Amino acid sequence: AAVALPLEASLRPVALRHRLAASALPAPFSAPLGVPPVLAPVRQDADTDYYRVTMRESTTEVVPGLRSPVWGYEGIAPGPTIRAVQGRKVVARFVNELPATHPQWGYAPWTSVHLHGSASLPQHDGYASDITNPGQYKDYRYPNWQPARTLWYHDHGAHHTAENVYMGLAGLYLLTDPLEQSLPLPKGEFDVPLVVTDHMFTTDGVPLLNIVEGKGAWGDVVAVNGRAWPVLRVKRRKYRFRILNASISRSYRWSFSDGTPMTVVATDAGLVPSPTVVRDFRHSSAERYEVVVDFSRHRPGQRVVLRNISPPKNVDYARTGTVMAFDVVDDPFPTTDNAVPDVLFPEQPAMNVPEGAALRTRRFRLHRQNGLWKINGTTWDDVVRSGFRKVLADPRLDDVEVWELVNESGGWFHPVHIHFVDFRVLSRNGLPPAPHECGGKDVVYLGPAETVRVLVKFERGRGRYMMHCHNLVHEDHDMMAQFEIVDPAVPAPDPLSEPSSW
């Protein structure tokens, strides 16, 4: 069984000695924003698209001019975007061609691929201990039965998720459906994904995973779509930005330098019932928020900066307050007529589960004990030692429950992710959720000393699924447990399966 490694002990001194100095970082907005390429299927038949995705080492320039090793899906980070249509299945073969050990960190990069926000069939949805070693591959099956949404696929290998994702193993998976297609939201080149990550490098470009006292890893470089502090030239019109926070630990609070409002049109589970206008909002790891931003009233030549107004984690990381810029270009025909509809998706399933349908309330305490992060006293190693039988909850298929997430870990926050399901945030410390949390979610920010109640319906799945903190350092050490959706009529599938070799 996999065992936690005290990586921080070996990494921290290196981080302090060889870190690329802030003065050596490039001026912001010197590189154009890139958009990850869309992956072409290797084969298609009547109801399925087949993909092959190889995880391999390559090089990249997160900081322009500084070559860095990267472990990416297809060798790029973010990985290529997979586009899926509701009702058409995807089978993806993920091939692990990574080096046998990490050259600096010394661990073996076993992998498990999780499609965050979706189901897999049978149960193999990136179960952390369902690992694929270098030289092996595994086929994952995605039913795509859900409404349109922005998903992402990322590594979930037991105890090495932070390292694997930090090296680059994350990409987008965009699921669409007829409703989304029919709405007058910005499309094509005006529908832009923004995958935000933070990094730290040595003077010669080696990534530093700056794990601070086992509590998280924070970088001093902020990148969007794999490029530090990029700039996007925008026309005078509306844009849809699909923002994914793919950072290891960092939470952001977005705000535009000139106060430009953002209209939240989608959250983790896709379109919200009706849009909400905000001037700033908090965005923790793994959450997805989609906002429509209107540049039609900006002056040509104007620069609008997307800022992070969360206080910096360390005083010398002040540049993490700047994220990217939008340069408004001259356009003789500004588009001003595409208003965001007042109603987007009133049938959003997660938002339509009545609270009165809840059969029970379960309590999950997130806490720290003996240097380990835990949920109700449990770590992933406890689950491993139980032969993968230990579960924290056992709802029956189609049950509705209230899950009460209680932060008992002092000043730390936890983005809590529940696999397989969507939920609705009912309350935070007894008060209504934040305005931007206005749709279905699969990750919820649990602030210091907060209690967050969420309403969940356990539909369609059977078997054991993980729940964990999406601060990947917490997840790896070892704030992850599982629940089981029980269907008395059907035995649960085994969450582990043998990978294949060739």
- Residue 286 in the binding site for ligand C2O (CB under 6 A): yes
The residues near 88 (Cβ < 8 Å, ≥ 6 apart) are 47, 48, 49, 144
> Quick one: CA torsion of 52, 58, 64, 67, rounded to 10 degrees?
180
Contact between 124 and ligand C2O (CB under 6 A)? no
Q: Binds 286, which of Cu ion, ligand C2O, none (CB < 5 to 8 A, cut-off by type)?
A: ligand C2O
- 482 three-class SS: strand
Name the minimum Å distance from CB 456 to Cu ion: 19
Q: Does 469 bind Cu ion (CB under 5 A)?
A: yes
- 468 near ligand C2O, judged by CB under 6 A: yes
Q: Which is nearer to Cu ion, 163 or 399 (CB)?
A: 163
Q: Using an 8 Å Cβ cutoff, are 73 and 38 in contact?
A: no
Using the rule CB under 6 A, give the single segment among 85-93, 132-140, 464-472, 489-497 that binds ligand C2O: 464-472
CB-CB neighbours of 341 under 10 Å: 12
- CA 365, CA 362: separation in Å to the nearest integer? 10
How far apart CA 48 and CA 43 sit, in angstroms, is 9
Binding positions for ligand C2O, 368-397, rule CB under 6 A: none
> Is there binding between residue 414 and Cu ion (CB under 5 A)?
yes
Q: By CB under 5 A, is residue 374 in contact with Cu ion?
A: no
Per partner kind, with CB cut-offs from 5 to 8 A, the member of Cu ion, ligand C2O, none near residue 194 is none
Those residues with Cβ within 8 angstroms of residue 383's Cβ, 6 or more apart along the chain or in another chain: 390, 480, 481, 482
Q: Quick one: which segment of 10-18, 227-235, 347-355, 462-470 binds ligand C2O (CB under 6 A)?
A: 462-470
In the bound complex, which residue of the shown chain has the CB atom lying closest to ligand C2O? Answer: 116
Which residue among 7, 466, 481, 486 contacts ligand C2O (CB under 6 A)? 466
Segment holding 8, helix H or strand E: helix 7-18
From the list Cu ion, ligand C2O, none, which binds 419 (C-beta under 5 to 8 Å, kind-based)?
ligand C2O
Helices and strands counted in the chain (H then E): 5, 31
Shorter beta-carbon distance to ligand C2O: residue 116 or 240: 116
Number of residues that bind Cu ion (CB under 5 A): 4
Indicate which single residue of 102, 116, 149, 283 sits in contact with ligand C2O (rule: CB under 6 A): 116
Specify whether the CB–CB gap between 353 and 455 falls below 8 A: yes
Under rule CB under 6 A, residue 115 binds ligand C2O: no
CA proximity to 462, closest of 496, 494, 486: 486
Token representation of residue 424? 């609705």
- 67, 237, 242, 261, 347 from 268: Cα distances, Å: 33, 25, 10, 20, 15
Q: Does 417 bind ligand C2O (CB under 6 A)?
A: yes
Instruction: Please choose, out of 24-32, 290-298, 468-476, 494-502, the segment that lies near Cu ion by the rule CB under 5 A.
Output: 468-476
* Cβ nearer to Cu ion, comparing 265 with 479: 479
Q: What angle do CA 353, 357, 358 make, to 5 degrees?
A: 100
Q: Which does 243 bind (CB under 5 to 8 A by kind): Cu ion, ligand C2O, none?
A: none
**What is the closest distance, in whole angstroms, from the C-beta atom of residue 377 to ligand C2O in the complex?**
20
Query: Which residue in the set 102, 149, 156, 238 belongs to the binding site for ligand C2O (CB under 6 A)?
Result: 156
Q: List the single partner that 414 binds among Cu ion, ligand C2O, none, CB under 5 to 8 Å by kind.
A: Cu ion
The Cβ of residue 174 has, within 10 Å, a number of other Cβ atoms equal to 19
Residue type, 180: E
Q: Choose among 185, 153, 179, 164: nearest CA to 83.
A: 153
156 binds, among ligand C2O, Cu ion, none (CB under 5 to 8 A by kind): ligand C2O
Among 419, 457, 462, 477, binds ligand C2O (CB under 6 A): 419
Which residues, 224 to 253, sit near ligand C2O by CB under 6 A?
none
- Choose, by CB under 6 A, the member of 102, 114, 215, 457 that binds ligand C2O: 114
Q: Tokens for 39?
A: 């992956």
For residue 327, the surrounding DSSP H or E stretch is strand 322-328
d(CA 68, CA 63): 9
Q: Which CB sits closer to ligand C2O, 154 or 307? A: 154
Beta strand 238-245 with 372-375: parallel, antiparallel or unpaired? unpaired
CB of residue 154 vs ligand C2O: minimum separation in angstroms?
6
Kindly report the backbone phi and psi dihedral angles of residue 417, in degrees, each rounded to the nearest multiple of 5, phi listed first.
-115, 130
Which range in 51-59, 218-226, 360-368, 466-474 contacts ligand C2O by CB under 6 A?
A: 466-474
3-state secondary structure (DSSP) of residue 13? helix
Distances (CA, A) of 112 to 54, 316, 368, 373: 13, 35, 26, 21
At residue 385, what are phi and psi to the nearest 5 degrees? -65, -25
Closer residue to ligand C2O in complex, CB, 287/294: 287
| Site stretch for Cu ion (CB under 5 A), options 105-113, 254-262, 287-295, 407-415 | 407-415
Three-state DSSP state, 299? coil
Per rule CB under 6 A, count of chain residues that contact ligand C2O: 10
Q: Phi and psi of 17, rounded to 5°? A: -80, -40
Residue 417 binds: one of ligand C2O, Cu ion, none (C-beta under 5 to 8 A by kind): ligand C2O
Element at 262 (helix H, strand E): strand 262-267
Using CB under 5 A, which of the segments 241-249, 323-331, 386-394, 409-417 binds Cu ion?
409-417
**Binding residue for Cu ion, selected from 471, 481, 483, 485, defined by CB under 5 A:** 471
Residues that bind ligand C2O (CB under 6 A): 114, 116, 154, 156, 286, 417, 419, 466, 468, 470
Residues that bind Cu ion (CB under 5 A): 414, 469, 471, 474
